[in-house]
Amino acid sequence: MRRLKLARIVEDIPVSKIGSASQGYVEVKGKTFIESGLPIYVPMLKIPCVWYRYEAFREHEDHESTEPDLKESIQRIYIKDLTGICAVDPREAEIEPKKTRELVEFGVLHRFRWLGVGEHVYVAGWLKTLHPMPEVSDKLPGSCTGLIKQQELNLRYGQLKKPLNVIIKPPEDDLPFFITTGFRRLTAKRARLEAVAWSFAFGIVGVILPYVVGVMYGS
């Protein structure tokens, strides 16, 4: 049901231009770029990117894999179209990159997934605007003046010189939050296929499980 709902949301909500996207749940598409400074790099591969996820799987002597070592970037991803730019906070997002690679070295399986610089991506999530922190304390919200630590102020406002639109995880759990390099229609189609696959799997379990239980207790 969740995958069917995802497909319906993707199909029903129009894709907005970044420069005219409204606050709240949005779907936008654009090209990734490096906003300032240096790019981040995929571990070991040293490939410049805007996001990566790295996993290392090690095997014991009994050939059973342990829990993978996981490393994932959390830096904001910046995207742009002809109308403007925005940032995406990748934390808790469902990310489907096109670039993947596996490498086996000294019995360890290394798995890499990343979003490259200059890639076209499609993003669905909750858009809000971050504003520069006021220069004087009397411009802060009245209920917060003198009560917020510097770290919390930086988290709320960020170290910004001008307002910035950021797409984050939606406050409602039933709204999807994802970043994909696939086309919008392919995302909806994939979600529907996954829904069918899950329904088929549950149907098979529903048929087989009662039979297995009946055989066990009947014997």
Dihedral sign from CA coordinates of 84, 90, 92, 95: positive
- Global pTM value: 0.71
Give the pLDDT of residue 198: 47
The tokens 């070295």 sit on which residue?
A: 105
Sign of CA dihedral 168, 169, 172, 175: positive
Give 10-residue mean pLDDT values along the chain (219 residues). Answer: 60 80 92 86 94 86 66 94 94 91 89 95 92 61 52 63 90 86 56 53 54 53
